[in-house]
A and B are shown apart, each in its own frame.
Chain A
Amino acid sequence: MADDRTLADILRSQGISRRGFLKFCATTASMMALSPAMVPKIAEALENAKRPSVIWLSFQECTGCTESLTRSHAPTIEKLIFDVISLDHHHTLMAASGHAVDEAMQEAMKENYGKYLLIVDGSIPVGNPAYSTIGGVSNLEMLKDAAKGAAAIVSVGTCAAFGGLPYAKPNPTGAVPVTEIIKDKPIINVPGCPPIPVVITGVLAQFLTFGKLPEMDELGRPMAFFGKNIHDRCYRRPFYERGEFAETFDDEGAKKGWCLFKLGCKGPVTYNACATTKWNEGTSWPVESGHGCLGCSQPNFWDMGGFYNALSTPTIDIAKTAAVGLAAGAAIGVAAGALNRSKKAKAAREHETVTVNDLEKGAKS
């Protein structure tokens, strides 16, 4: 609920010294991917920042985005940020249930009208709004209602930002992202499946610090985190430059940590901060663990032609694909891929079950 204390007041009331506050600011600047020279400005802005009301709505989603945030080891910067915001409504995290949940949300929206930050995870089904409802209210109506009084909207996760998995072909629920519905509010997309926790809180911290959303790219993502692609910041990039590629997940190249491009890595077309921010308290990230980037922060990543197909493998037209593959001297792999896809399509038409063995047979034939 409304709280007139500033962030500095709250931290001080928790016994945190000014030196501790400066440490908080230094790590917050790092988290927001801002220059360390910005720390004094961040300190000044945060000292006077008021505790904002935040309403979090979850629609067609798997709760992975909330898990990403709350499974961070506590106490972290993420936790501190959440200590200083007033999270007035979150279906998964709030203690209240039933009608009390709806009442709490309505009260928070009324009290903070025009000022609250609305966070949405999950896509919204518009094919038939009844596909996803909460307390009998469709996601569509709930979003429209909550968006009216929001100062800004943060679409957390690829589902809210770009439609995500529910949006994948054939999109049975008619899922759409937030931007397809709300057109008159500032919206920032924080995609990822799930997003990196510090990227979520980095956007919140930026909003707290400067009272506005940060600079965004053409897809509405914060430039600070999504301004560079994975490939450009990947520590395996030198292997790519030298043409040293792992061909399978257990060959010598894989063991030597060579580039995963041929194994389907989507790093060259994916914009995210994984390569520098990493995961699990900076421990590692998918490429460091030996698996290519899935491109989960990009629109339509589920339909990008297969997680294990190299980006250079054409996938649109089977006949053309085989021809291009032959020209490139990669006839066997591409033709096998075409056969696999043909088999899958046939199975889908005839409702057959297609197994890994079937696919392997297709690849050998």
Chain B
Amino acid sequence: MNGKSSCSEETACSDELYTGNVTPILNEIRHALKKLLEEGESTIIDLRALPMGPGEEQQLESLLGIGEVTANIDAMGPSTVNETLFAGVWLITHRNTEDAILGKFIEITRYPSILESQTVDMHSALKALPDLLTENG
């Protein structure tokens, strides 16, 4: 792994309250990554389903850091997909068009499925291409 995270687990990024939930999540990620490698099974963790004190979500994100891949999606508002410093561990943030966060997930997978082109959309694209060719023929 390359790069650095900006804070350690012992030293929180802020002096905010500390519930101790960051460590269990990191352990869950570790177990999920092992399962991905050994059994090929992906895991998704919904960060909104877990109790977090002020600043703890940022602490977790900072510990995971930002790795080699970042992708932006523009579908019903922006979404960002970041591979963390830990290969196979992705942080996905969905926002609405007013930039409010709708959901935040950690996916432990080779690549998040939201990045795949969808069959229905590809069919639409296939229909649209002849029009483009005609217009520019």
Given contacts A19-B73, A22-B118, contact A282 B51 (CB under 8 A): no
Q: Which of A73-81, A141-149, A314-322 lies at the interface?
A: A73-81
B56 touches A235 (CB 8 A): yes
Query: Is B12 on the interface with A (CB-CB < 8 A)?
Result: no
Closest residue of B by beta carbon distance from A79 = B96
Categorize the interface residue count of chain A: 35 or more
Closest Cβ of chain B: how far from A302's Cβ, in Å? 27
Closest residue of A by beta carbon distance from B115 = A19
Tally of contact residues, B, Cβ under 8 A: 36
Residues of A within 8 A of B94 (CB): 23, 26-27
A26 touches B114 (CB 8 A): yes
Given contacts A26-B103, A235-B56, contact A275 B51 (CB under 8 A): yes
A interface footprint on B59-91 (CB within 8 Å = 1, 0 otherwise): 000000000000001011101000000000000
B interface footprint on A230-241 (CB within 8 Å = 1, 0 otherwise): 000111111000
CA distance A315 to B127 in the complex (A): 72
CA distance A104 to B58 in the complex (A): 49
Query: Is B50 on the interface with A (CB-CB < 8 A)?
Result: yes
A233 touches B103 (CB 8 A): no
Given contacts A19-B118, A36-B105, contact A234 B49 (CB under 8 A): no
Residues of B within 8 A of A235 (CB): 17, 19, 51-54, 56
Binding site for A on B (CB under 8 A): 17-20, 44-46, 48-54, 56, 73, 75-77, 79, 94, 96-98, 100-103, 105, 113-114, 117-121
Q: What are 9 A-B contacts with C-beta separation under 8 Å?
A: A19-B75, A19-B118, A33-B49, A74-B98, A75-B97, A77-B102, A235-B51, A237-B19, A276-B50
